[in-house]
Amino acid sequence: MKILKKLMILLVLAALIIGCSKEPENNYLGNLKVGYTMKLDDKEVPKAKFEFFYGRALTKYLNQYYSAFSDDYASIVDFNIEKDINDLKNQDCTVTGYTDKSWEYYFADQAKKDILEVEALVRGAKTAGYQINADDKKKARSTFGELESYCKENKIDFEDYLHSTFGLEATKDNLISYYEEANLASRYAAVLLKEPTDEEVEQYYLANKNDIDTINIRYFAFAKDDKAKADEFAQKIRSEADFKQMAVDYSSDDKKIYYQNNDLSLRQDLRKSDLPEYLQSVLFDQALPINSVKVVEGDSSIDVVMLVAREQPVYQIGRAHV
């Protein structure tokens, strides 16, 4: 159990964000050999990368207990790696949802989820124009340098330490590259979580208002060969009330009662995506004035439309309260 305590503290130091205050003693528990692999975009995730995230997942789990129980946390965890870090494959997991699996499977599954999250954030960051910058690289080398310094100060063979924590294929170069990616992912996640300013909201709205605004319209459809009747209908309209009455007058006998008893020509709270393409252009892209009436040839009908209202959503910027 004493060995387990030392390993836990050692693994805590290996976390992506170094934050522990207690330094571990020298310890070595064999080379990490994870019995699982992962594919991303139909390509095998490099073994070195997968085992890096496996070690990170184990680190994060142990760190929860270290933070909560300090020196007593080694006796709290539900697995034993006193002799070999790879013994996790032979021990039943106690985490809800994984009780029919081994602890190795659990940490491999957490590694998979972390890889997917980091990969999604990195791709999103690059699409948004972010790249690994000098600060990301500096932090990655600083993190790695702290591990090197610790091992040197405590006479731990650094290569053995890397292999124990991150697998046989762990090297300085590939670990630093994973740290850099994680730093970029963390930086972009912070951008996504940052509350926009009123000015940023307004700028976004102005650039995307056709996809954001909602409209109210009056709508009546004629058969494809009734263009003349549609034009006649449109020419008689001077107000929204006219449109409503014209819809009753021009409706077929079997539908007239429905138009009389219900305001069927009114369509409310429509977004651009709610409309067929031929109406999207007329009602959104062409900046049609309010109360304007248009006759539009559709896919299977001749439509008469009147733009009654166009509304901009009201945004409220949430502010943190201390």
By CB atoms closer than 10 A (0-12, 13-18, 19+), residue 185 is buried
The whole-number average pLDDT for the span 22-35 is: 54
- Chain centroid, CA 55 distance in Å: 24
- Domain residue spans of the chain: 2-193, 208-311
Over residues 132-167, the pLDDT tens digits come to: 999 999 999 988 888 788 778 877 778 877 887 788
Terminal Cα distance for the chain, rounded: 43
So what's the pLDDT on residue 160?
Answer: 78
> Alpha helices of the chain — where are they, by DSSP H?
2-13, 47-69, 103-127, 134-153, 158-166, 172-193, 198-212, 227-235, 240-250, 253-261, 277-280
* Residue of 7 and 209 predicted with greater confidence: 209
Question: What value does the mean pLDDT take over residues 4-32?
Answer: 46
pLDDT in tens, 151-208: 788 777 788 778 877 887 888 888 888 989 989 998 888 888 877 778 888 888 888 8
Q: What pLDDT is recorded for position 69? A: 46
Cα dist from 24 to 55, 92, 153, whole Å: 16, 27, 11
**Within 10 A of 48 (CB to CB), how many other CB atoms are there?**
18
The answer to whether residue 81 scores a pLDDT higher than 50 is yes
Average pLDDT, the chain: 80
Give percent of the chain with pLDDT exceeding 70.
Answer: 82
pLDDT of 286-317, one tens digit each? 878 999 999 999 888 899 999 999 998 765 44
208-311: CATH, from 3.30.43.10, 3.10.50.40, 3.40.50.11540, 2.60.120.260: 3.10.50.40
**Tokens 């709270």, residue located:** 269
Alpha helices (H) along 130-193: 134-153, 158-166, 172-193
Instruction: Decide which of 248 and 192 is more confident.
Output: 248
* pTM for the model: 0.52
